[in-house]
Amino acid sequence: MGSLSELACEARRRLLIMAAYDPGIHIGSSLSVLDILTALYGTGRVKFNAHNGLSTRNYLVLSKGHAVHAIYALASVFGHLNSDELRETGSLGSRLQNHPEDDTPFVDVSNSGSLGLGIGMAVGLALGLKLRGAAGRVYLVTGDGELDEGVSWESFAVAASYGLSNVVTIVDQNGAQLDGPSDEVLKKGDLAGRFRAMGFFVQTVDGHDVDGLVEALEAAEKAGTPSVIIARTVRGKGVQGLEGSVRQRIPRDEALELAGKLSCR
């Protein structure tokens, strides 16, 4: 595989193959977050097989756990999953379920409960690493819908109060959540301003520009304060007929047809 963008494209194709066999996949949400995860995995900031060196390695917390299929797709591209496993996600006995569980591979924290809990888990992990003098960094990927939750802002307040420069938050701002458009469900206001008021280093970027995301990550890592990258994304990004729609499920024949049409070269 060549560039990071080509890697992300191939992961999109494999997401569609999973969607053909697994009716439980959240395809729109997985496609919106895929480029963010590509920037993290594709640059080696987080690794698929890093279950040792607990104090020195970096951690990924995917707080929007319903988009875990994006991780499965990338793991397949990197050679950690075979095609048979991709066709069995969500099935009885599969280790790849539709929400992360304690024994789900490639996942440091299984956040399958209420949205927002993963944010607190990530901040707690970062605080623990800091108290131990560990070098590891925590990358937290959250959806904008999760920012409706009070626990999210309590957790961010803890990160600010303890000066947790070892946690980098990336908000997948696709503007949609289960109950409807995010700002119609609950007004977010000036999201960047809210974070700045708490002392965060804030950047707003195109969440589908992988190279731009990498540059933003580099700047965040040098900030010396808690940081947040607000990544403006589109649900269903990169797939004709899904991009910008609210669809989360697609029929098998359509999914396979879309996968066949997707060219990554």
Residue 7 included in any domain: no
Residue 106 inside a domain? The answer is: yes
Q: Is 49 contained in some domain?
A: yes
Q: What pLDDT, in 10s, does the model give residues 187-211?
A: 888 999 999 999 999 999 999 999 9
pLDDT at residue 42 greater than cutoff 90: yes
Alpha-carbon torsion 128, 100, 172, 73, what sign? Answer: positive
Q: Compute the distance between CA of residue 262 and CA of residue 265 in angstroms, rounded to an integer.
A: 9
User: Closest Cα partner for 214 from 76, 45, 65, 64?
Assistant: 45
pLDDT tops 90 at residue 228: yes
For 244-264, how does the pLDDT look when each residue is reduced to its tens digit (9 = 90+)? 887 778 889 888 899 888 888
Task: State the CB neighbour count (10 A cutoff) for residue 169.
Answer: 27
CA dihedral over 71, 76, 78, 79, signed as positive or negative = positive
Contacts of 95 (CB under 8 A, 6+ apart): 85, 103, 104, 105
Of 67, 173, 172, 170, nearest in space to 111 by CA: 67
pLDDT of res. 50: 55
> Around Cβ 158, how many Cβ atoms within 10 Å?
17
Tens digit of each residue's pLDDT (9 = 90 or more) over 116-139 = 899 999 999 999 999 999 989 999
In this predicted model, what pLDDT tens digit does every residue of 167-177 receive, in sequence order? 999 999 988 77
Structural domain harbouring 232 = 29-68+98-251
CATH classification of the domain holding 177: 3.40.50.970
pTM score: 0.94
Any domain includes 263: no
Q: Domain for residue 198, yes or no?
A: yes
Number of domains within the chain: 1
Query: d(Cα 220, Cα 167) in Å, to the nearest integer?
Result: 9
Determine, yes or no, domain membership for 77. no
Strand partners, 227: 168, 201
